[in-house]
């Protein structure tokens, strides 16, 4: 297949597309000197958008995990109240929606039936609807009041990779667009944009170390279970890492907020139950180191994904992989990439059908 460009699977090709995916998501959408983003697809509704008080993000699967990270991004860059809801749950709630509320649907395909139904319900109740979609001209793109495209090209692998990264980039651009009308300063805006400009090279640096993840996958794919933990934004990265692993390798994997370990999952830990711990250079760092120590004290193997300058994780974890540091709001974009590669290599060692896992579809158009 010439679409594979020499890669053995679409998933791997799409993982390697990611520096370009980020460039495509940003192209023509940033003014560095003003610390602002320009999103043409939202222009016609800018008056309503400036007056919003609340944003509800709805989505499914990997797009839902992007939404969970989006909550932090919007909370940090805007003054909006933010909710994130699974599309399949949203429509059954008794929601008070009016013109100061927008519902943002995140969808790669633009065809997921639950997300589409959520948008239709939101419109009926008078909310502004916004799409963050990859497939141009798809139903969600057509039925929302305004929106932004990923411009990431087709994603063929059922397990979403590059679109997740694209969604995170665009959530930052959207939040910046709104936030610069609110309390975000010029300097804060410039910092996000400059960090976005550096991302493609930082992603390439991670991809250049793929063989290290292949080696680690060789060890960890032998375990029947795997726990992923993180805090704050990295709680959602943990959920996404677990989803990637379970959907393509069929290893049972769970993502958990690290602070909840002591309320349940710690009881699972023994020498045959590994944990992948996501660390970042923020207020949660010391607590994550504590979590790792608690797991090691119960003989659980720990593989830590951390940042370049971290001096402690290598002393407490069995294995370590480092990603470059970026703006705090963009860090999940870098920490998810080793998890994508890790899941990919685990699946390869286990000989599963990586691009088309059993029982799953790329786009789910039935409820
Ligand atoms: C399916 C796909 C996932 C995707 C989810 C939501 O489950 O296998 O990769 O994240 O649908 O799809 P959407 O197109 O709405 O982002």
Q: How far apart are CA 341 and CA 343, in angstroms?
A: 5
Q: Could you give the CA distance from residue 148 to residue 143 in angstroms, rounded to a whole number?
A: 13
Question: What ipTM goes with this model?
Answer: 0.97
333 Cα: distance to centroid of ligand 1 (angstroms): 18
Asked whether 12 and 344 are in contact (CB, 8 A), the reply is yes
CA of 151 to the centre of ligand 1 (A): 17
Positions in the chain short of pLDDT 50:
none
Q: Is 56 in the pocket of ligand 1 (CB under 6 A)?
A: no
Q: Do the beta carbons of residue 341 and residue 15 sit within 8 Å?
A: yes
What's the rounded Cα separation, in Å, for the pair 348 and 339? 14
Query: Distance from the CA of 359 to the center of ligand 1, in angstroms?
Result: 13
The per-residue pLDDT for 28 is 97
For the question of residue 246 being annotated catalytic, the response is no
pLDDT attached to residue 91: 83
Scored b (16 or more CB within 10 A) or e, 39-62 reads: bebbeebeebbeebebbbbbbbbb
Residue 363 makes CB contacts below 8 A (sequence gap 6+) with 108, 109, 111, 112
The pLDDT value given to residue 95? 87
Q: In the chain, how many H helices and how many E strands? A: 14, 12
Report how far residue 255's alpha carbon sits from residue 243's, in angstroms, rounded to the nearest whole number: 8
In Å, what is the CA distance from 89 to each residue of 117, 133, 194? 11, 20, 37
25: its two tokens: 């998501």
Instruction: Tell me the pLDDT tens digit for each residue of 22-58.
Output: 999 999 999 999 999 999 999 999 999 999 999 999 9
Write down the pLDDT at residue 1.
79
Q: Is the CB of 186 under 6 A from ligand 1?
A: no
pLDDT at site 367:
82
Quote the pTM value.
0.98
């Amino acid at each position: 297949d010439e679409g594979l460009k020499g890669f053995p699977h679409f998933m791997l090709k799409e993982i390697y597309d990611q520096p370009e995916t980020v460039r495509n998501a940003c192209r023509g959408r940033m003014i560095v000197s003003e610390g602002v983003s320009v999103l043409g697809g939202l222009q016609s509704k800018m008056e309503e958008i400036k007056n919003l008080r609340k944003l509800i993000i709805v989505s499914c699967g990997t797009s839902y995990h992007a939404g969970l990270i989006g909550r932090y991004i919007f909370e940090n860059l805007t003054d909006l109240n933010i909710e994130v809801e699974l599309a399949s749950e949203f429509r059954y709630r008794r929601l008070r929606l009016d013109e100061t509320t927008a519902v943002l649907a995140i969808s790669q395909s633009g065809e997921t039936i639950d997300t589409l139904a959520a948008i239709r319900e939101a419109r009926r109740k008078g909310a502004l609807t916004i799409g963050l979609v990859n497939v141009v001209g798809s139903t969600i793109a057509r039925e929302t009041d305004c929106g932004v495209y990923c411009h990431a090209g087709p994603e063929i692998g059922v397990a979403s990779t590059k679109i997740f990264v694209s969604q995170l980039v665009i959530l930052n651009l959207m939040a910046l667009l709104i936030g610069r009308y609110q309390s975000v300063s010029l300097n804060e805006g410039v910092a996000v944009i400059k960090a976005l400009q550096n991302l493609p090279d930082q992603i390439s640096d991670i991809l250049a170390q793929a063989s290290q993840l292949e080696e680690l996958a060789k060890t960890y794919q032998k375990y029947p279970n795997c726990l992923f933990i993180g805090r704050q934004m990295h709680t959602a990265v943990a959920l996404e890492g677990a989803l990637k692993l379970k959907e393509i390798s069929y290893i049972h994997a769970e993502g958990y907020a690290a602070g909840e370990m002591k309320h349940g999952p710690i009881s699972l830990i023994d020498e045959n139950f590994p944990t992948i711990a996501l660390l970042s250079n923020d207020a949660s760092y010391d607590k994550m180191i504590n979590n790792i120590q608690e797991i090691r004290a119960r003989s659980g193997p720990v593989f830590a994904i951390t940042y370049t300058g971290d001096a402690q994780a290598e002393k407490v974890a069995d294995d370590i992989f480092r990603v470059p540091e970026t703006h705090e709001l963009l860090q999940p974009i870098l920490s998810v990439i080793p998890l994508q590669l890790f899941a990919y290599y685990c699946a390869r060692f286990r000989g599963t059908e990586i691009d088309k896992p059993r029982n799953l579809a790329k786009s789910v158009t039935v409820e």
